[in-house]
Amino acid sequence: MTGPLTIGSRVRYHGSHQQLHGREFTLLACHGDCPGCQDQDPDEEAPGRYFRLEDPDSGQGLAHVRAASITPLPHTWPQDAVAITIGGYHYRASHTEYGGSSGARVVHFHTADGGTGRTFCRLPDGPTPPIRLLDAAARRRTGAPANERTSPTMAITKIPDVINHRALLDALNSIRAEVESRQEDVDNLAAWSGEMAERMRGIAEELQALNVDSYTVGNMAMLGDLIDGQAAAADRYKNATDTSVTQAETAARTAHRNHGRIQDAVDDSDVPMANAPFYSAE
């Protein structure tokens, strides 16, 4: 074997189960969710040391398999695949999934059969260079701007062209109303996310007290981190909407103060307004 085994590869088995010799499987990570991992002495745990094999047709296979029991088959990964190590396992990743926080991501990785798999990734020190590449790949997949992560499209009220003073005030009022109409939903999302993230961490602690395997406990804690990201984003959005509403009000007041008297005079006049030079003072 040359180089590290890559999760998602096709491998040929030649271990202790002789009836399976020569069979080909998809290589997956063994995250402590098999009897072999659970019976293992915690002091002997070595991330990335054991693997899970899955038959691509039946979905059945083997768990807790050593690297010495398998041989990887040659495969050419997509040119844009990103090499990344997560939990001691090596992947050729495709992109991250929308909804991650600064401390966690869901990563999609390539498999040799042309599909993709998913795994969780903790980021205690923030996004790494490979994660930033995968975030960028996620944006490209959805056509999102370079400074945004992927997000669903939200319909907004059509703002007509501003062709006069009245249209300007109408546009500013529409924008303010549009922003304010979303504040309650965002407040509810922030509150829900905060409560749900706390509950996920509580579940992780409850599972840990029951001696449930560390991978399952970690998944629950990571889910809490992901939902925390939602809460933080909702809070930032709420603060931004407050600023936007205030600015829209300021812009409307300024426009009316500077041009309102002129508009009022035009409205009160019995004759149509002449061209601007007619009213210019020398």
For the stretch 229-255, pLDDT in tens is 777 877 787 777 777 777 777 777 777
Q: How confident is the model at residue 98 (pLDDT cuts 50, 70, 90)?
A: low
Residue 74, pLDDT above cutoff 80: yes
Structure tokens at 46: 């070595």
The per-residue pLDDT for 64 is 86
pTM, rounded to two decimals: 0.52
| Mean pLDDT to the nearest integer, 196-219 | 79
Lowest-confidence pick of 37-46, 81-90, 133-142, 217-226? 37-46
Q: What angle do CA 175, 176, 181 make, to 5 degrees?
A: 100
Between these two residues, 131 and 141, which has the higher pLDDT value? 131
Of 31-40, 67-76, 109-118, 219-228, the poorest mean pLDDT is in 31-40
d(CA 10, CA 53): 9
- Residue 222 has a pLDDT of 78
When mean pLDDT is compared over 54-63, 83-92, 172-181, 252-261, the highest value belongs to 83-92
* 49 compared with 281, residue with greater pLDDT: 49
On the question of pLDDT at 181 being above 80, the answer is no
Taking every pair of Cα atoms in the chain, the longest distance, rounded to a whole number of angstroms, is: 104
Region 211-223: mean pLDDT is 77
Mean pLDDT, rounded, for 175-194: 68
- Is the pLDDT assigned to residue 118 strictly greater than 60? yes
Average pLDDT of the chain?
Answer: 76
In sequence order, what are the residues at sequence separation of 6 or more whose Cβ sits closer than 8 angstroms to the Cβ of residue 184? none
Q: What is the pLDDT of residues 10-32, one digit of tens each?
A: 999 999 999 999 999 999 988 65
Q: Distance between CA 204 and CA 219 in Å, rounded?
A: 8
Model confidence band, residue 152 (pLDDT cutoffs 50, 70, 90)? very low
The residue behind tokens 């602690």 is 205
100 versus 133: which is more confidently predicted? 133
Cα torsion 235, 237, 243, 249 to 10°: value is: -130
pLDDT at position 205 is: 82
- CA-to-CA separations, 136 to 126, 127, 147, 159, 195, in angstroms, rounded: 15, 12, 9, 31, 30
Tell me which of 154 and 198 has the higher pLDDT: 198
Quick one: pLDDT at residue 242? 75
How much is the pLDDT for 151?
A: 40
Segment 134-148 mean pLDDT = 69
Q: At residue 50, does pLDDT exceed 80?
A: yes
